[in-house]
């Protein structure tokens, strides 16, 4: 695929270098192609060095895919130094060099949302998950609007905001004491730096001379400002977006940023991409008819030349278990009939928990699957254990990491000792690690606890010294041996979970080792990077295994699959109850739109009559979005009078039947 093979607007978007450019790109209209081609064009025709170009995406997955595609267009030496990353990784890249200018040391830690929630819950002195979440998202909103704690306190309009603002103040102090940043800081701090430090701004403007921003409709105020600051008055950038696919308002994303762009850059050139290369006309029509229920920001009409295609299917299932079996059964039948690969299928859903039943049923029937999105890998205790050590080695002031590492594996230091240490550290205004090394501690902690504590600190300190000098891989393996982690796993667990946990740890080690070698990064840098990654990627260039993709709707954005099952199309799930209650149905509709437009050839929507929720049966209504699809383009299964409703037992029986047929390679008797 070269520029000559592109359609006229795509080509125009690639070649336009006269100033700021906005590309309004409908779903499947080849926007990734435009970005990758444009990078190659900038280098080949624009006389620009790859190290002066930055492409910004929203997920690591998208970044990786983009880098791979650029690699096919440009020789390795021409693409060297190219920045392709998420906003957060770009912020990290900037802060690694500029940390001292914003009050941090270069080895700062990055806290994930769970760590941040823990700090907030300690400050709030509450256990209510809901309360913690509300405060956490309020703080995040303030940060994204670049509001300092003091200003938040002054501007607080009600009791909740006053409480949240006070927590915000303490929270920031705590982060600074830990020398830790949260995700929002990774973008907020560079913006604050660039707003106040002319020299730093000019340095980075000189480095990043051309910016390409993907999924522009999902930028929040802070990200918008970062782009604006880096682009400067020259405004050399290409922003690509689709207002109909804006699904991150809850994270502060502001579709208005799309509308704001022409105001900020009067010279802005706008190009629309309206030809869809992905889906059949029926799928596209369904998507258009759903989204037409939303008000429009920009007028555009998507069309496709890929033929009418099959009607969509809406399947009613007896319950969530039946739904999982229905998907498995239909998928296997379809695969058998059409001789497709497992990788041609995706199951999409609103919430991560919905994947659980699908996983269970797929495992039962030996359907290979791969889950993308979600944070399950990092939620695992064994991964957090190891990362705790790595974070502490990189940054001894990281108290949460200290607590995790010093108590795992158990070394005779428990809550009582930690409380004493914490009290002492509080009096002295130092981190737990520093406190543990001070002589003043001797009278307050028993020698039996003091001794292992100091041994632990000595060890961490020695490793910290080596972490910036030696390759990461061998160092981590040495660490695991030293703390006898494998043995500890087997001592405290049944053999089976212990084995799988150790396997996960090995996987993490392997990833760190490969990444360290490939990018020449030391342990400190790797530890910072890993906080931003949701799933371990396989080896570079290695082919992905043939598996059905399981993904949330959010994580599926930008991806496409020949055959898609969109499960849980019910009121309360899609649209989500919270969104219905808070008048955010339009965003849910866009989410539905994103889901529909992932499909290339067939799309199956399912909903249940009832489902189990926290152990209780709940009755469900089909989603209003199913009703918004043209009747001509959709077939219903399992509605009263039609015999297609799949129950658990029927589903199981059909599956058994199918497996038999597959095994014996007979043709299905339907």
Give the residue numbers marked as catalytic: 31-32, 214-215, 245, 598
With respect to DNA, which residue has the nearer C-beta, 21 or 110? Answer: 110
CB of 79 to DNA, least distance (A): 22
3-state class of 603 per DSSP? strand
d(CA 197, CA 99): 13
Return the SS3 of 252: coil
Sheet holding 237-241, edge to edge: 83-86, 53-57, 210-213, 237-241, 21-25, 269-273
Phi-psi region of 486 (alpha: psi -120 to 50; beta: other; left: phi over 0): alpha
Neighbours of 572 (CB within 10 A): 18
Residue 89 or 316: the one with the smaller Cβ distance to DNA is 89
Given the complex with DNA, which of 86 and 254 has the nearer CB atom?
A: 86
Nearer to DNA, 11 or 380 (CB): 380
Residues near DNA, by CB under 7 A: 58-60, 86-89, 112-113, 127-130, 140, 183-184, 247, 250-251, 350-353, 373-375, 379, 407, 410-417, 449, 492, 532, 534, 552, 554-555, 576, 578-579, 582, 584, 612-615
Q: Considering the complex, what minimum distance in angstroms separates the CB of residue 541 from DNA?
A: 22
The smaller minimum CB distance to DNA, of residues 54 and 333, is found at: 54
Residues marked as binding?
25-32, 278
Cβ atoms of 587 and 579 within 8 Å: the answer is yes
| Three-class SS of 37-48 | HHHHHHHHCCCC
Q: Nearest approach, Cβ of 586 to DNA (angstroms)?
A: 13
Closest CA to 31 of 281, 212, 228: 212
Closest to DNA by CB, 280 vs 556, is 556
**56 and 85 in contact (C-beta within 8 Å)?**
yes
User: Looking at beta carbons only, is 12 or 370 nearer to DNA?
Assistant: 370
What beta strand segments (E) does 15-77 contain? 21-25, 53-57
**Measured distance CA(652)–CA(32) in Å, rounded:** 41
Distance separating alpha carbons of residues 398 and 393, to the nearest angstrom: 9
Question: Residue 432 or residue 658: which is nearer to DNA going by CB?
Answer: 432
309 or 575: whose CB is closer to DNA? 575
Q: How far is the CB of 405 from DNA (least distance, A)?
A: 13
**Closest distance of CB 280 from DNA, Å:** 27
Listed as own residue / partner, the contacts of 476-485 with beta carbons closer than 8 Å and 24 or more positions apart are 476/386, 476/390, 476/509, 476/512, 476/513, 476/523, 477/509, 479/389, 479/393, 480/386, 480/505, 480/509, 483/389, 483/409, 484/409, 485/385, 485/386, 485/409
**Sequence-ordered alpha helix ranges (H) in 145-197:** 149-155, 159-178, 185-196
DSSP helix/strand/coil, 395: coil
What is d(CA 631, CA 200) in angstroms, rounded to the nearest whole number? 58
**516 DSSP 8-state letter:** H
* Smallest distance from DNA to CB 415, Å: 5
Euclidean distance between CA atoms 138 and 160, whole angstroms: 10
What's the closest the beta carbon of residue 218 comes to DNA, in angstroms? 10
Structure tokens at 96: 């690694």
d(CA 86, CA 77): 23
Least gap, CB of 104 to DNA (angstroms): 18
Annotated binding site for ATP: 25-32, 278
Q: Token pair of 438, please? A: 């001070």
The two tokens of residue 377 are 């890998």
CA distance 609 to 133: 31
CB of 575 to DNA, least distance (A): 9
């Amino acid at each position: 695929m070269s520029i000559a093979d592109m359609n006229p607007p795509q080509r125009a978007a690639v070649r336009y270098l006269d100033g700021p450019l906005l590309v309004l790109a409908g779903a499947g209209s080849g926007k990734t192609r435009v970005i990758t081609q444009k990078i190659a064009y900038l280098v080949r025709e624009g006389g620009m060095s790859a190290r002066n170009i930055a492409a910004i995406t929203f997920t690591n997955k998208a970044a990786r895919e983009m880098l791979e595609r650029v690699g096919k267009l440009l020789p390795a030496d021409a693409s060297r130094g190219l920045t392709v990353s998420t906003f957060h990784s770009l912020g990290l890249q900037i802060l690694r060099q500029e940390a001292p200018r914003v009050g941090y040391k270069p080895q700062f830690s990055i806290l994930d949302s769970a760590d941040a929630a823990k700090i907030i819950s300690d400050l709030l002195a509450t256990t209510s998950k809901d309360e913690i979440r509300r405060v956490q998202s309020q703080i995040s909103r303030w940060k994204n609007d670049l509001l300092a704690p003091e200003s938040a306190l002054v501007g607080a309009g009600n009791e909740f905001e006053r409480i949240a603002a006070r927590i915000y103040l303490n929270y920031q102090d705590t982060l600074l004491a830990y020398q830790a940043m949260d995700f929002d800081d990774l973008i907020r701090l560079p913006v604050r730096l660039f707003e106040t430090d002319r020299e730093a701004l000019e340095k980075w403007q000189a480095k990043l001379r051309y910016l390409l921003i993907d999924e522009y409709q999902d930028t929040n105020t802070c990200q918008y400002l970062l782009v604006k600051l880096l682009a400067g008055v020259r405004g050399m950038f290409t922003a690509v977006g689709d207002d109909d696919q804006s699904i991150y308002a809850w994270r502060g994303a502001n579709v208005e940023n799309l509308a704001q762009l022409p105001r900020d850059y009067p010279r802005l050139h706008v190009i629309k991409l309206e030809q869809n290369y992905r889906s059949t006309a029926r799928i596209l029509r369904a998507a258009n008819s759903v989204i037409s229920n939303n008000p429009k920001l920009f007028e555009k009409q998507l069309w496709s030349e890929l033929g009418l295609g099959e009607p969509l299917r809406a399947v009613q299932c007896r319950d969530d278990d039946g739904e999982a079996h229905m998907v498995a059964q239909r998928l296997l039948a379809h695969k058998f009939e059409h001789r497709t690969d497992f990788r041609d299928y995706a199951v999409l859903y609103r919430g991560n928990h919905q994947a659980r039943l699908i996983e269970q049923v797929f495992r039962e029937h030996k359907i290979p699957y791969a889950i993308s999105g979600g944070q399950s890998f990092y939620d695992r205790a064994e991964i957090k254990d190891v990362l705790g050590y790595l974070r502490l080695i990189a940054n001894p002031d990281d108290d949460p990491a200290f607590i995790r590492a010093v108590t795992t594996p158990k070394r005779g230091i428990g809550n009582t000792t930690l409380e004493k240490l914490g009290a002492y550290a509080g009096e002295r205004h130092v981190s737990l690690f520093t406190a543990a090394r001070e002589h003043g501690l001797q009278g307050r902690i028993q020698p039996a606890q003091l001794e292992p504590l100091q041994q632990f600190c000595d060890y961490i300190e020695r490793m910290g010294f080596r972490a910036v000098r030696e390759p990461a891989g061998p160092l981590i393996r040495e660490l695991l041996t030293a703390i006898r982690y494998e043995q500890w796993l087997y001592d405290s667990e049944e053999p089976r979970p212990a084995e799988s946990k150790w396997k996960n740890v090995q996987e993490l080690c392997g990833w760190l080792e490969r990444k360290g070698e490939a990018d020449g990064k030391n342990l400190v840098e790797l530890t910072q990077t890993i906080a931003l990654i949701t799933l371990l990627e396989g080896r570079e260039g290695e082919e992905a295994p043939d598996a059905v993709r399981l993904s949330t709707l959010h994580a599926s954005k930008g991806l496409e699959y020949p055959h898609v099952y969109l499960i849980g199309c019910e009121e309360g799930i899609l649209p989500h109850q919270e969104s219905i209650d808070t008048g955010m149905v339009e965003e849910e509709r866009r989410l539905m739109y994103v889901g529909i437009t992932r499909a290339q050839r067939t799309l199956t929507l399912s909903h249940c009559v009832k489902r189990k929720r926290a152990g209780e049966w709940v009755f469900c209504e089909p989603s209003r979005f199913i009703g918004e699809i043209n009747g001509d383009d959709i077939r219903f299964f399992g509605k009263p009078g039609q015999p297609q409703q799949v129950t658990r037992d029927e589903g199981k029986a059909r599956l058994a039947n199918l497996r038999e047929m597959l095994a014996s390679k007979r043709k299905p008797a339907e």
